[in-house]
Chains A and B, each alone.
Chain A
Amino acid sequence: MKKRVDDIKSTISDVLELPKDIVLDLPRITLIGNLQLYIENHKGIIEYSKQRIRINTNIGILRIVGNNLTIRTIVTEEIIIVGEIEVVEFIS
């Protein structure tokens, strides 16, 4: 059922050229070089250490691996992570 709703939403956003992150409630991830990662629309932190950060999102867990990672800002909607980012991956 949810799958079908998502499919319809996707089609609508394609047809009407609406941004998908808003229609489908997806995280928007912006990576600046390997220095800063900006995640909008997250669902909380699962793990946080200097080498690894895991963040919950709607479509699975986002894993960030790197060195000296710190959370610059964290609020309900967004997270800014700075440090030497090496890997950004989704684990579903």
Chain B
Amino acid sequence: MLVIRIWNYFRGYVIIKIEGLTLERFINLSIAKGIYLWDIIRYDYTTLEAKVGLKGFKSLREVVKRVGCRVYIIEKKGFPFLIHKLKYRKMLVFGFAVAVGIIIFLTSFIWEIEVIGNENADSKLIVDYLTKMDIKPGILKSEIDISELKRSILRDIENISFVNMEIIGTKLLVEVKVRDVMPSAIRKDVPCNVVAKKKAVIVKVIARNGKSVVEKGDIVKKGQVLISGIIEDEKLENPLLVHSDGTVLGKTLYVKELQEPIIKKIEEETGNCYSVREIKIGNYSLLLNNKEIPYKNYIEDKKNRKLIKILGYELPFEIIVHKYKEVELIKVKQNVEALKKMQSVRGVQMIMNELPKGAKVISKDVKYSIEDNILITRVSIEVIEEIGEKQKIQ
């Protein structure tokens, strides 16, 4: 059915209105003459609407004469009529063709390169590398050999374990996965010290190699040498440098202070909102709606939309939508005991997340104080953990 419709459209057809008395005869005669009529609708006893092809319409004249009815054209449809119309509007056709041409031309370039999946912020490295390979905004899409490029990125940029490239519209999307880089361990034959990672009270020192310079109960600062790799002896002319190794356990204190107002202000959205659009051209801005905000208390939600990007440069057009959401302020007095419990649990949890692996908690202390309607919760936790860290001797 659709095929026939498209065919009819290309051949061109007219919708006609026939007025007369013996319309059935009109239909029968047209069929007999081989004129194809379709979508025949009877409006009333004397009027009929039908569709007929261009050729059919011409040979309809004889039938009309014989039946003695009148035919009006209601609408001309189809490709031939469109062409006919466009003959008088050559510039329109030209403009359309130019527009399509420009779109095709512009979309055959890459205008933007985006690197995703890269947390360690060396997107620039990849972009620079691509620039070096002559892949930069403004390159023809067909000039990019993706599989070759992927291979060379994997080969030339060291810490990338996976790369995928995709052209989405006019954007080249580079998806990379950075290999996890292990902190380079100091080799066994390089002399080093074991130093403190953080401030702590020494609990235990087990020196497997080197000379321990601290004792149990000592308070050490960050960076202080715990096991020295420099062994000095009277018999030796130069101090002996060794690769020190060992476990140093220290007692450290983690403190968290949480503040929570007892009377809490809750902003509850009422669901009403009011938006204002702002057009920004360069440094000038134009508010499209200059009415006052009809709410007393509100939250502002700002959304920027950059409009056009050409040749990698952003045009200084910007639309900012300010959305003001009405809020209601509600004061809630919280139960102090419950709040205390909640805060202490929260504090402990926060500290627990910070603790390194293998740390052992030895004591927990929670203190509360109330100042100006604010509950201050101080959670301190003492733990024993490994505090040693190897450091090369310079």
A residues near B (Cβ < 8 Å) are: 44-50, 70-76
Q: B337 at interface (Cβ–Cβ under 8 A)?
A: no
Among the stretches B21-29, B168-176, B275-283, the one at the interface with A is: B21-29
Can you report 21 residue pairs joining A to B where beta carbons are below 8 Å apart? A44-B27, A44-B28, A44-B31, A45-B24, A45-B28, A46-B24, A48-B23, A48-B24, A48-B48, A49-B45, A70-B39, A70-B42, A71-B37, A72-B39, A72-B40, A74-B31, A74-B37, A74-B38, A74-B40, A75-B31, A76-B31
Number of interface residues of B (CB under 8 A): 16
B residues near A (Cβ < 8 Å) are: 23-24, 27-28, 31-32, 34, 36-42, 45, 48
Interface SS of B by simple majority: mixed
A-chain residues with CB within 8 Å of residue B38 when the two chains form the complex: 71-74
B32 adjacent to A76 (CB under 8 Å): yes
Closest-CB distance, A82 to chain B (whole angstroms): 10
Known: A50-B42, A71-B27, A73-B38. 4 other contacts (CB 8 A): A72-B40, A74-B31, A76-B31, A76-B34
Which residue on chain B has the smallest CB distance to residue A80?
Answer: B38
The complex places the Cα of A36 from the Cα of B135 at a distance, in Å, of: 61
The complex places the Cα of A75 from the Cα of B32 at a distance, in Å, of: 8
Which residue on chain A has the smallest CB distance to residue B33?
Answer: A76
The complex places the Cα of A46 from the Cα of B28 at a distance, in Å, of: 9
Closest-CB distance, A42 to chain B (whole angstroms): 9
The complex places the Cα of A72 from the Cα of B37 at a distance, in Å, of: 8
Closest-CB distance, B279 to chain A (whole angstroms): 52
B-chain residues with CB within 8 Å of residue A75 when the two chains form the complex: 31, 36
Which residue on chain A has the smallest CB distance to residue B50?
Answer: A71
Interface SS of A by simple majority: strand
B-chain residues with CB within 8 Å of residue A44 when the two chains form the complex: 24, 27-28, 31
A-chain residues with CB within 8 Å of residue B36 when the two chains form the complex: 73, 75
Which residue on chain B has the smallest CB distance to residue A77?
Answer: B31
B42 adjacent to A48 (CB under 8 Å): yes
Which residue on chain B has the smallest CB distance to residue A42?
Answer: B31
A-chain residues with CB within 8 Å of residue B45 when the two chains form the complex: 49
Q: Tell me which of B27, B31, B32, B34 contacts A48 (CB under 8 A).
A: B27
A-chain residues with CB within 8 Å of residue B41 when the two chains form the complex: 70
B-chain residues with CB within 8 Å of residue A72 when the two chains form the complex: 38-40
Enumerate the 4 nearest inter-chain pairs by beta-carbon distance, A residue then B residue, closest first.
A71-B40, A44-B28, A45-B24, A73-B38
Which residue on chain B has the smallest CB distance to residue A43?
Answer: B28
The complex places the Cα of A49 from the Cα of B48 at a distance, in Å, of: 9
B-chain residues with CB within 8 Å of residue A50 when the two chains form the complex: 42
The complex places the Cα of A49 from the Cα of B43 at a distance, in Å, of: 8
Q: Tell me which of B23, B24, B34, B40 contacts A70 (CB under 8 A).
A: B40
The complex places the Cα of A72 from the Cα of B4 at a distance, in Å, of: 12
Which among A50, A72, A75 has the greatest number of chain B C-beta atoms within 10 A? A75
Which among B23, B37, B40 has the greatest number of chain A C-beta atoms within 10 A? B40
The complex places the Cα of A58 from the Cα of B160 at a distance, in Å, of: 83
Closest-CB distance, A56 to chain B (whole angstroms): 9
Which residue on chain B has the smallest CB distance to residue A73?
Answer: B38
Which residue on chain B has the smallest CB distance to residue A47?
Answer: B24
A-chain residues with CB within 8 Å of residue B23 when the two chains form the complex: 48
With A74-B37, A75-B36 as contacts: A49 and B42 at CB distance below 8 Å = yes
Closest-CB distance, B343 to chain A (whole angstroms): 72
The complex places the Cα of A70 from the Cα of B49 at a distance, in Å, of: 10
B-chain residues with CB within 8 Å of residue A71 when the two chains form the complex: 27, 37-40
The complex places the Cα of A47 from the Cα of B34 at a distance, in Å, of: 20
Which residue on chain A has the smallest CB distance to residue B1?
Answer: A72
Closest-CB distance, A46 to chain B (whole angstroms): 6
Closest-CB distance, A44 to chain B (whole angstroms): 4
Closest-CB distance, B48 to chain A (whole angstroms): 8
The complex places the Cα of A73 from the Cα of B1 at a distance, in Å, of: 11
The complex places the Cα of A75 from the Cα of B38 at a distance, in Å, of: 9
The complex places the Cα of A46 from the Cα of B26 at a distance, in Å, of: 11
A74 adjacent to B27 (CB under 8 Å): yes
Which among A45, A46, A47 has the greatest number of chain B C-beta atoms within 10 A? A45
The complex places the Cα of A45 from the Cα of B34 at a distance, in Å, of: 15
Closest-CB distance, B67 to chain A (whole angstroms): 13
The complex places the Cα of A71 from the Cα of B18 at a distance, in Å, of: 15
